[in-house]
Structure 1
Amino acid sequence: MQVQDTDLKLLRIFETIVRCGGFAAAQPILNIGASSISEYMSQLETRLGLRLCERGRAGFRLTEEGANLHAAAQRLLGAVDSFHMEAGALRNQLSGVLRFGMIEATLTDQYSPLPIAIREFGQMAPEVRLHVQIETPGSMEQHVLDGRLHLAVGPFPVRIPGLDYLPLYREEQGLYCASTHPLHERAKGRVPVSLLSKQRLAARAYLGSQELKLLRMPEAAASVDNVEGRAMLILSGNYIGFLPPHYARPWVDSGLLTRIDPEHYATHLDFQIITRKGAESARVVQAFCNQLRTAARQLNHTTRGGKKHVD
C-alpha cells in the first residue's frame, strides 16, 4: 500500500477516535459529525481491506487488526511530524507537531519546570503545535522508543537500552495516612519501621519494590500506577502510601490526611527527560529540551536546601 495524503488524513482521524475512546467523544475534537466520522472510517477500512473496530450498542472496541494498525499509525504519524519539523528547520523555522509525554499530577508542583518551559517555548516557536500525552513511565519509555513520542518527562527508576536520560528536577515524596487510619494519632511523632511494616501499603506500580524495602514490608496490599488512585486508597483509611506533598496539601489542610514521621520517611523522585538514543533530534525537540533544562535551573536557584536539582 502506497501512503498518500488522503491516507494520512484518515489515519489521523482514526488515531483521534482511538485516543478519545469512540466516535462520539472524537466529534468535538475533530469538529465533524458522527456520520462523517463513520464515513471516514469506512473509507479507511475499505482502503486497507480490514475491519478496524466494532461500534454499536456495545460501545467502541478495536479489533486485533485495529490495535495493530493503531500502533503502526502512531509510529508513522510521529515520523511524519518529525519530517515536518526537520523540513521547517532547514528554512530556519521551528514548526510542526511536537509529541511529548508526561505523568499526571505534576501541575501543582511549584518546582516543575513544565509550565515555564511551555510558556517560553510557545513564545519562541509559535508555529509548533504541542501534542501532550499523559502516560505512565513505562508507557512513555516504550512510546519514545518506537517513535510515537519525541520526548517524555517523568521518573524513570530503571534505565533501559535505547534511550538517553537527562536529569531535570526532583520531586519530594512523603508517607501519608488518613485521619481515620490507626496511625493518625501518632503520625507526627516518631513512628518505628516495625510498626509501619504491619500496615497495608498502596504502592506505586513502578516503584513498589523500593517502597517495600524502605518500609521492610514483604508485599504491597495494593499497586496503583497513578497518583489519584493511590490518594483514593489512602483517603479510604485502609492504606498508607507515598504522595507528593504538593498534591496531598489540600487534604492535609482540611485534616483528611496526615504525613507520617516526615523526618524519617521523606523520599524523592528524580524526573528526567528521555529521548531515543542514536537518533539525531530535530531542532524543535532540542529547543524544547533546552527550555525545560533552563526552566529547571531557574527554579533550582529559588529552592531551599537544594532539594530540587538539575545535574
Structure 2
Amino acid sequence: MQVQDTDLKLLRIFDTIVRCGGFAAAQPVLNVGASSISEYMSQLETRLGLRLCERGRAGFRLTEEGAELHAAAQRLLGAVDSFHLEAGALRNQLSGVLRFGMIEATLTDQHSPLPVAIREFGQMAPEVRLHVQIETPGSMEQHVLDGRLHLAVGPFPAQIPGLDYLPLYREEQGLYCASTHPLFERAGTHVPVSALSNQRLAARAYLGSQEVKLLRMTQAAASVDNVEGRAMLILSGNYIGFLPPHYARPWVEGGLLHRIDPEHYVTHLEFQIITRKGGEPTRVVQAFCKQLRAAAIDANRARRGGE
C-alpha cells in the first residue's frame, strides 16, 4: 500500500499501544479515550486488511501478523524520524525525534554520564524529542541495526558486524549473597573459589559463560536478562550473583545483602555507544554522542579525584 500521513499517525498509535501493553494503558499516553483508540485500530486494520490484535476480556495480545507488522512499523518510524533529523540538520537546526536505547538499573550509578549528558543535550537542542527505550544489550544491537534505534548505550561483550562500538565508561560489579545464604556470615572474609563452585549462580544471560568460568562452575543455575530479576533471585537466599554496588547498596545497608570477598571477586562492565556502521550519523546523533563522551570524561575525572 502507499503510505500516507494518516497511515504514519495510525502506525504511531499502534506502536504506542503495543509498548504500553494494551488499550487502557495507552490512553493516558495518547491522551485519548478508549473508544477513539479502538476506532484508530479499526481504521488501521481495515487499511491493511489484517487482524493485528486480540482485545477483550482475555486482555490484549498481538496476532502473528500484528507482531510482524509492529516490527516493520518500528523500522519505518525509525527511518521517518531519521529523515526528520537529517532534514533539520540541513536547515542548521537540531530537531526531530532521537530514538535512544539504554539498559535498566543505571540511574543509581553516580559515575554514569547519562543524566548529565541528557541534561546538557536538552539545553543545547531543545527542539529534539528523546524517545528512550529500556532494553537488553542484544535487543539494542538488533534495533540499532534495523533502524528502530539511532544509538544505544550499554555493555556489549560480543561485538557484531554492522555496528560501530565507542567505549564510554566502566561499571563495577560485585558478587553478592543474601542474609539467609550459607555464605553470608563469612562473606566479608576471604572466600576461596572452591567454596563457590558448588553454589547456585544467577548469571547475566549475556555474560553467563564468563561468570561461570570466573567462579569455576560447570553451569549457572539461573539466567536473567535484567538486574532486578537477578537481585530478586539473590535476595531469595538460594543464589549468589553479580550486581552493581550502587544498585545493591540499599539492601547492603539494610543488612539483607552482603558482598562476597570484594578483593577477589570484582569485575567490570564496559559500557559503549553503538551506532549503525556505514554512512555518517546525523548531526543530532553526533551531538548526543559528543555530550555522552564529554560527560563520561568529566565523571571519570571526578571519580579519580575522589579516590
Give the TM-score normalised by structure 1.
Answer: 0.97
Matched residue pairs, number? 307
Question: In the alignment, what sits opposite 2:255?
Answer: 255
| Counterpart-to-counterpart distance in 1, 2:77 and 2:252 | 44
Deviations 1:40-69 (A, max 9, x none): 000001101111111011111111111111
Question: In the alignment, what sits opposite 1:7?
Answer: 7
Q: Give me the identity figure in percent.
A: 89
Question: In the alignment, what sits opposite 1:48?
Answer: 48
1:304 Cα shift? 3.2
- Residue 220 of structure 1 aligns with an amino acid whose one-letter code is A
Question: In the alignment, what sits opposite 2:31?
Answer: 31
1:302 Cα shift? 1.1
Extract unaligned runs of 5+ from structure 2: none
Contact persistence 1:167–1:270 (CA under 8 A): yes
| Counterpart-to-counterpart distance in 1, 2:304 and 2:196 | 29
Question: In the alignment, what sits opposite 1:288?
Answer: 288
Deviations 1:169-220 (A, max 9, x none): 0000000001111001111111000010011100001100000000000011
Question: In the alignment, what sits opposite 1:154?
Answer: 154
- Residue 99 of structure 1 aligns with an amino acid whose one-letter code is R
Equivalent positions of 1:191-270 (< 5 A) are 191-270=191-270
| Counterpart-to-counterpart distance in 2, 1:21 and 1:252 | 34
Moved more, 69-78 or 298-307: 298-307
- Residue 67 of structure 2 aligns with an amino acid whose one-letter code is A
1:306 Cα shift? 10
- Residue 293 of structure 2 aligns with an amino acid whose one-letter code is R
Contact persistence 1:300–1:306 (CA under 8 A): no
| Counterpart-to-counterpart distance in 1, 2:30 and 2:73 | 17
1:280 Cα shift? 2.1
Question: In the alignment, what sits opposite 1:125?
Answer: 125
| Counterpart-to-counterpart distance in 2, 1:152 and 1:128 | 16
Deviations 1:213-272 (A, max 9, x none): 000000111111000000011011111000000000000011110000000001000000
Deviations 1:1-35 (A, max 9, x none): 11100000000000000000000000000000000
| Counterpart-to-counterpart distance in 1, 2:77 and 2:142 | 16
Question: In the alignment, what sits opposite 1:140?
Answer: 140
- Residue 234 of structure 1 aligns with an amino acid whose one-letter code is I
Question: In the alignment, what sits opposite 2:108?
Answer: 108
| Counterpart-to-counterpart distance in 2, 1:35 and 1:118 | 36
1:303 Cα shift? 1.3
Output the aligned Cα RMSD: 1.1
| Counterpart-to-counterpart distance in 2, 1:241 and 1:4 | 50
- Residue 194 of structure 1 aligns with an amino acid whose one-letter code is S
1:305 Cα shift? 8.4
| SS of residue paired to 2:239 | coil
- Residue 156 of structure 1 aligns with an amino acid whose one-letter code is F
| SS of residue paired to 1:303 | helix
Q: Confirm whether residue 180 of structure 1 aligns to residue 180 of structure 2.
A: yes
